[in-house]
A and B are shown apart, each in its own frame.
Chain A
Amino acid sequence: MTDRITTLGPNRRSVLMGGAALLATPAILRAQGTAIKFGTLTPLTGVGGTYGPSMRDAAVSVFDAVNAAGGLLGGSIEYVSEDTQTNPEAAVRAVRKLIDVDGVSVVLGTWASSVTTAVAPLCWENDVMLFCVSGADSITRLPHMGYIARTQPNSVLQIQVAGDFMLRQGSTGMAWIGPQTPFAQSSIDILAGQAEGAGIGMESLIYEADKSTYRSEVDTILRSNPDFIMLGGYAADSTVVLRDIWQAGYEGKIMGPAYAVNPSVLDALPDEVTEGVFTWEGAPAIGSTAYANVQAALGVDVVDPYSAQTYDHASLAVLAAAAAGDAGGSAIKNALRSISQGDGTEVSDALAGLEVLASGGSVNYSGASGPCDFDEIGDITGTQFLFNQILGGAPSMFERV
């Protein structure tokens, strides 16, 4: 009698079949793999957490709209969203994952200048296009070979415009108070130059972010008796500084960037503290199709400047890929200016642009944040600025320049 020995382990046939299946799998995936991968890298948490979620949603609304209308280059757009935590170290880990694991060709939406500065080298070394909303002028001076485009006016331009405004309003003694950021010192230098040109005094103080009180800092800055104070921080610290300045009995003028004196700050502070404070920002294209699209996507009446910009990032990436016939980072980089500026048909959303491109035309995209024209180093040009004044706890338009 012969005993049959049965084995429960893998036999030769099953191993061969399994192996063949495994080998075949990547081919199957490749056959479906016309998907295009874009990444959003916004501050979902941390200081920028007020903006990050809506920035991501604005960008995603473009990808969803394009996918719903038939996709891009014969495939669909896959998007991956990561969180910078408004922290350069966390952002570097996140962008490594986007590039190495997800294989994205575009990263869009970096907010804090320190974060953009940290992730930019990883992007250009890996042929990944980076769209950012950061203001520090040092960013576009990096050797990025064209892989950075920013839709936010750089800090030099922003501060010059604001300094001119302070002088126009008759300031006889300026002050700048803000946290340590990549644009703090350059802001002070620009303002000091303008003050010197106008023959007036200028005092500055760089404080440490993330403190619960700035009373001593406010005491220090008020020693010079300024009549116009510029805030240089973000929303959380500006709330504290505004309150401390008001409690100190200061009666002069104050101005801060719109991202710092934003709706959540206005909600958190009593109206009398913010009454009369000026804000300024790159003027969004209110009334454009793109702006209306972002309003609808986010379900808001007033679109914050960053969500408007990430909507444009996504649209620019889509149109550049369509114009190049290739969704790789290098192709998008090379095609960017062919769809963002020039003599093409003026379009204000990605779907309209795709139609024009499909019919063999060329496009000039102007989006929710403005004209979206870039100079040779990736800085935005032709931005208009909107000055608002806070009256009764809400921004009211003061002037547009």
Chain B
Amino acid sequence: MLDLLPQFLVNGIITGALLAIPTIGFTAIFAVLRFPNFAVASHATVGAFAGLVANVYWGLPAVPSLAFAFLIAGIVGLVSDEIALKPLRKHGALTTAIASIALTIVLENIIRFFFGNELRGYDLPLVRDTRFGDVRVNPQQLENLALAVVIMVLVFTALKYTRMGKAMRAVADNPGLADLKGIDAALVGRVVAFAGMGLVGIGGMLFGLGTSIDPLTGFRFILPIFAAAVVGGLGSIPGAVLGAMIVGVGEEMSALVLEPAYKSAVGFLAIVLVLTFRPSGLLGERAY
């Protein structure tokens, strides 16, 4: 079984990189709006279906389709946050988190209403894996990995060098102080709801590119996304990337010691271990 270790490691890194994108969105929303938005599940699905419309119905290639997925998931994220979640935020994080679960069910069923339950695939040429020694990698996976890296670089650059990025970090670190400095927290909240859910939408489509999609697509990622965010430190964006890598690689490598039927246990185990020994996560709560 150990002969498969390099292959599992590669599989894990690719899974982890894809997982990092929606996890960044999830943790950014937590950092600024201070509640776990479980509606990421349906927003990943929204992104996957928006990408499908662009790719299959309009015939656009993968990258513009991803941009469309970002846009639509972001708009849905912003609108649904304004209507359903923002009015509840003053009642506490738990209330808002529960409402976000309700929201995700509503959105999932809206997608089901329009697209049905059938599985759908993207219109992309499928190619066999390329072998490097004992390790096989699919060109589509490498492309997804490259896209994931580019998106992560863009996010980090935006956070570090743009005015809005700095404002987001300020509100995340100390909302009171940010307010004193004249930063419009409501505007920052809207930008985060848009960009965070946009990233989640991209994540949904990136996962769908390798498989197929249906209204439950996003629901399948909710546990790994949450686990990755908790492991890295809820609210920490570099932590989201680290957590996603740990969960992604951990799930794939677990096949060496665990029955594959218990793969998800890795996510739960990671949450339990981190909450026991380092409750604020590996990189703490600082947004950046």
Contacts and interface: CB of A to CB of B under 8 A. Distances in A.
A329 to B, nearest CB: 30
Interface string B136-160: 1010000000000000000000000
A8 B207 CA distance: 66
A124 B219 CA distance: 34
A208 B7 CA distance: 19
B277 interface: no
A175 to B, nearest CB: 14
Contacts of B217: 212
A219 B262 contact: no
Given A239-B211, A243-B126, A223 B4 contact: yes
A239 B212 contact: yes
A67 interface: no
A207 B127 CA distance: 24
B126 A249 contact: no
Q: Which one of B120, B121, B125 has the highest number of Cβ atoms from chain A below 10 Å of its Cβ?
A: B121
Contact of B261 (A52, A206, A240, A265): A206
A212 B126 contact: no
B221 interface: yes
A281 B237 CA distance: 49
A248 B136 CA distance: 7
Contacts of A49: 112, 117, 214-215
A247 B14 CA distance: 15
Tell me what chain A mostly uses at the interface: helix, strand, loop, or mixed.
helix
26 contacts: A45-B117, A179-B261, A207-B261, A210-B219, A212-B211, A212-B220, A213-B15, A213-B210, A213-B211, A215-B252, A236-B212, A236-B214, A236-B216, A239-B119, A240-B211, A246-B128, A264-B119, A267-B118, A267-B121, A268-B118, A269-B121, A270-B121, A270-B125, A270-B126, A272-B126, A273-B126
Contacts of A249: 128-129, 136
A220 interface: yes
A180 interface: yes
A11 interface: no
Nearest to A241: B211
Contacts of B216: 46-47, 210, 236
Contact of A269 (B127, B136, B212, B220): B212
B260 interface: yes
A369 B144 CA distance: 44
Interface of B: 1, 4, 7-8, 11, 15, 109, 112, 117-121, 125-129, 136, 138, 207, 210-212, 214-217, 219-221, 252, 255, 259-264
Interface string A15-39: 0000000000000000000000000
Nearest to B126: A270
A13 interface: no
A12 interface: no
A242 to B, nearest CB: 10
Contacts of A267: 118-121
A272 B138 CA distance: 16
A208 B263 contact: yes
Interface residues of A, number: 40
A4 interface: no
Interface of A: 45-47, 49-50, 52-53, 179-180, 205-208, 210-213, 215-217, 219-220, 223, 235-236, 239-240, 243, 246-249, 264-265, 267-270, 272-273
Given A267-B118, A269-B212, A216 B136 contact: no
A221 to B, nearest CB: 10
Contact of A240 (B4, B11, B212): B212
Contacts of B215: 45, 49
A216 B126 contact: no
Contacts of B121: 239, 267-270
A211 to B, nearest CB: 7
Nearest to A86: B216
A207 B263 contact: yes
A12 to B, nearest CB: 48
A383 B31 CA distance: 59
B11 A215 contact: yes
Given A50-B117, A240-B212, A268-B121, A45 B220 contact: no
A210 B211 contact: no
Q: Which one of B7, B117, B136, B264 has the highest number of Cβ atoms from chain A below 10 Å of its Cβ?
A: B117
A196 to B, nearest CB: 22
B126 A247 contact: yes
A312 B211 CA distance: 35
Contacts of B15: 213
Contacts of A246: 126, 128
A216 B121 CA distance: 21
A243 B126 CA distance: 9
B135 to A, nearest CB: 10
Contact of B128 (A180, A215, A247, A264): A247
Nearest to B4: A219
A217 B260 contact: yes
